[in-house]
Every structure is written in C-alpha cells, then in structure tokens.
Structure 1
Amino acid sequence: MVRFGVIGTNKITGNFIEGANELGDFELTAVYSRTEKKATSFAEKHGAKHTFTNLEEMAESKVIDAVYIASPNSLHAEQAILLMKAGKHVLCEKPLASNSREVQRMVAASRENNVLLMEAMKSTVMPNMQKVRENLHKIGQVRRFVANYGQYSSRYDAYKEGTVLNAFNPEFSNGSLMDIGVYCVYPVVSILGKPSSIKAEGVMLESGVDGEGSILLGYDDKEAVVMFSKITDSHLPSEIQGENGSILIDKIGSPMNVKIYYRDGSIEDLTQSQTHTMMYEAKEFIELIQSGKTESTINSYENSLLAIEVMDEARRQIGIVFPADNR
C-alpha cells in the first residue's frame, strides 16, 4: 500500500480519491487544509484518519508516503519542495507550477532527495492517448496538430457580476492558459517535442488573467495550433493531421474516443475501454514508487519543463504577469 495525504479539499481532490480508490494499493491516510473544520469534514467523508493544518507537520509525519497536491497553482512549488525535502513523493496537479523557474526548482528537489515528482496530467497517461502515440506512424508524416479545449468556467458568471474568484485571480497564477491551455500544450510537446517558434494571442480580462487565447507552435516540418478558453464552450475535437490520414481525438483533456481517418476513406477505431479518468495518473504514480523510480517516462521532467516554457513565452507575448514571476 502507498499511503497518501492530500492537499486541497476541492472537487478535483475528491475526483482523484474516487479514481485512486479503484486501485488496490492506494490508501488515503491524511488530509491537509488551512482550517481544521474543512480538513475534518473532508477526511470523514473520504475515510482518512489524520488531519493537518500545518504543512510542516504533515511533511514530517510518518503516516504518509506520498502527497497529491491540488492547491492553487501559485502554491504548488513551495508546497511540493517542502514535502520532497521531507522525503515524500509528490503528485502535483497541472500546471506543475507558476513558471519554468519554479518547475526547475521542483525537479532539483526531486533529484536531490531521491523522491518521485510527477505532474498530474491525466490525459497523457490514459489508454486512449497511449493508443495515439502507438499508432501515430500510421498517418505518415505529421504536418499539423490542432489541440482545442474550451470550457465556460462555472466561476465566470460571478466574475461578470464583479466577484473575482480564484479561477480569475492572477495572485493564484490562474487564467485560461494555465487552467485549460495546459491540457493542449502538454500533449503537443510530449508528442512533437520542443517548437522552434511560438506565437501567442489572447483576450485579457480586467483582473489580469486571460479569458481565452491561442498559440501557434512552429516546427521545421510541421506546426501545432493550440486553442483554449474559460469564457466560451467549444465542441470541436482535436486532430493530428498526417499525409496518410488524421487522428481525431474527441476531448484533448480527457480522451474518450480516438479514431484514424485514412485518406482512402477507411476509419480505424483506436478507442480503448476506460474506467475513472483520474485512476490512470494514480496508477502510473504508484507503480513508479513501487518500482523505485523517481520520474515518469510519460509525464517526464522534460515534458513538464517544455510545457511550462511554452506557456511562459505565451504569457509574455499575451501580457499575463503573475506575482509569482517576481518571487
């Protein structure tokens, strides 16, 4: 069994626990929250025996082996480094940190303390995305990757009425690119590698974060088009276009249906049967711990750094600045 603590008592943490509970070697033992009331309520709901309101005490605790971090983006680096210095393995929600400088510090802490650090990018470890990678050669020379994700935020109505919640607050390193765009950028760079050029545009909101945007990534013989939004919905799929056919991915953030459309008109269904979408990241993470490894080959340090470097440059061009950038 791998004994987990969680940071964050939000919906995504509950979803992670639900998915991880499908594994026989996951055990939730501790919950951290800034308030004892929230920590206790969440722990009782999910069956954890221990609660913490002090992160240092949690880091030094003997009741956990690993921690899943789902706090605001701006807190990821500080919390993860503290935990890794105490010898805890860390599964950290995407984006891994506010900027590439913080990610580099997190990777260094992982290596120095010989513990596992992995970005909780669920899509890339799901069976359907693995099928995309395994069958990419079938579409011939790749020429374009169109990655699209638009999801109207449940917090946007409040924003339009004058209440700036965390999702639209630059203090927490949030906004459309960080919260939604990362689901597009990460698989693009994990499949195509480092781009030779980056061109970004976006719609800025008065709070100081972006509501939506797009990025054009240039490569020597191909390009990637990334589109993301927190202020509109999109029902367009994502697509990898090759000279012999195209791979259609229904949802880039959580691929449930994947097909190859060949130039001769034939269609090959690559779709795999899948269980809870957040189970796969927990499975990957736990198996790495059990095998004594400190880095995933899928959600690797290289891919996390590539993704955040692309987002850093996109933010620079769009004009998105976080307080974390000046720390």
Structure 2
Amino acid sequence: MNVEFIEALEQIQKDKGISKEILIDALEAALISSYKRNFGSAQNVRVEINRDTGEVHVYSQKKVVENLEDELLELSLDEAKGIDRNYEVDDIVEREVTPRNFGRIAAQTAKQVVVQRIREAERGVVYEEYINRESDIITGSVARLAKGIVYINLGKTEAILGPTEQMPGEEYKHGDRIKSYIVEVKKTPKGPQVLVSRTHPGLIKRLFELEVPEIHDGIVEVKSISREAGSRTKIAVESKDPNVDPVGSCVGPKGARVQAIVDELRGEKIDIIKYSEDPSVFIASSLSPAKVVSTEVNIDNKTAKVVVPDYQLSLAIGKEGQNARLAAKLTGWKIDIKSESQVKSDN
C-alpha cells in the first residue's frame, strides 16, 4: 500500500463520514489475522500502517521472562538484555518480521475491510434514520411478495409487512404505493430490519395528522382510537379552541379529509366522535351512528347502562357486536346496551 491508499481513505472519510483512523485500526486488526493465516504463525504480532505513507510493517511481540517456557511468545531476560540492556522482566520486545510479499496480501485485505466497513456504516446510517421514525408513518411501494410477507421498498431499505399486520382482504400488487406504520426497527447482521403495520391504531392517528392541519398543529387532539382493521375505526377528538369544531375539522370540506383516509384504508369505515370529560356524554357519542335515549354510569367500576330506541338497538350493538365493542374500547368503559322495551319489561 502507498500514499494513494491513504488519500483514498481520506476521500472515503469525506464522502461516507467514516473516520480514516477507524478504517486503519480495523485494517491493522484484519492484517494480524491475515498474517497468521498466510504464514502459519502462532506468535503474537502487531501490525502498523504508516498514516502518511501507507507502508505496512509487522512486528513480532515477545514477553521478557526469567524462565523461558514458550519460545514463540517469550524471550529470556538474558537474550532481551543482549538486544537492549534496559529491558526488564514483563517488558515486550518487538522485532520486525514483515514478509517480502506482504504488500499484496495487505492490498487484498484492505479492499475487503474497507468495503465491509462502508457497508456497515451505510447500514448504520439507515438504522439511525429509521430508529428515529418508530411510531411514524411511512410511504413506500410494494417490491415483492413471498410466503405471505409483503416487502415494501423505502428507497434505502425494505420494510417488512408481516401477515398479521396486513389488513384483512387487502391485496398487494407490485408497484402499489401504500402507507404503513413503523412498529419496530431492529439491528440484524444483514442490516436494519424495519417492521411495519397496516392494522395498528397508530396508523389511523398518523393519517389524521397528515390530512387534518388542526391535528398536526395541536389545535385538535386525538384522545383515543379503537380499531378493527379493514372493517371499522372509532376515533375520539377534542378541540383546544372553542371556535374550532373537532369533528368538522376531521371530516373536512364535503368530507374530503376523512374520505382521503378511508380511501387509503381501502374503504374502512371511520366514526369520528367528539370527546367529552363527562363519561355519560362520551359513552353516548361513542355508540354513533346509533342514537341514545339515556346513559347511567357507575364511576367506581367504570360500567355504563345505555338505553336506546327499539329500532336503534341492532345499530347500537352493531354486526356481531362490533359497534358496542369498539365503543367500549374507545371509552375504556364496560357498556350494557338495552332497548326501551327491554328496560320497561325489566321494570
């Protein structure tokens, strides 16, 4: 290796942000292994690369001892004194043992080490970028499908959309642009692994932040979300400004804002509920689109008895109990729904 090699390392430092010293240190460590492998040496050695000229030198290292037991690793005190009378027991004596053709081996090793370190650095940059985006929304295109897993091209890396994170009935075709929610970013030997979801409630929140400026700006706050992906979502919102209608803000002019989210979710129904500090009001609203006659709440055990008109009972409960289930999850209350006729017969 030569001056050009050092200049190349300096250019890599400039372009890739990888310290020249880190590269040289890694190369010196790799060259120790290369030396031992190629020259069958079991002795301790140190490799030094001149930071200015790029020249490589190999030095054997032996420990000074009084009683010599291993000639490969040790040097007697008498022999050490013959080299330099200042040597004492436990000192390390170095001698240059650079092989004549070691430059060729060094060049090959250097290429491997530099390429590996660049790859590791690039993976590190990608990891740092996406680890800071956990719980965020990301847009990518479907790259491929394999064994039920959808791989999404994000540009610098691929995201993994596992079978359990896919919306029921949703089809994914090569090239489709989709938004997903970053659940977790892992470090693996092959680089960062970005795990995403289309079913996570967090996706709903992030989509509303994208479509509704009032939510993005903090004027309207998302209080809670309950979701059965691919079917229905309920989202409770509250305005911090009395002049701003939280539900109207989320619906948008002619329903454009919520419709954009529904389209992204392939037709998933979304109920936007106005949050209230009053549990009875909030619970009644959470059963939308059903109308509620009365609500009786028990604060101690967080249960509520809700009465609805007879013709609204099936709507309040929902298909297979979905509406009632989502309302309970949204509010955090156990809700018992009865029709007016049922209440009369009970009494």
Q: Do they superpose with TM above 0.5?
A: no
Give the TM-score, by structure 2 length: 0.25
| Structure number having the greater strand percentage | 2
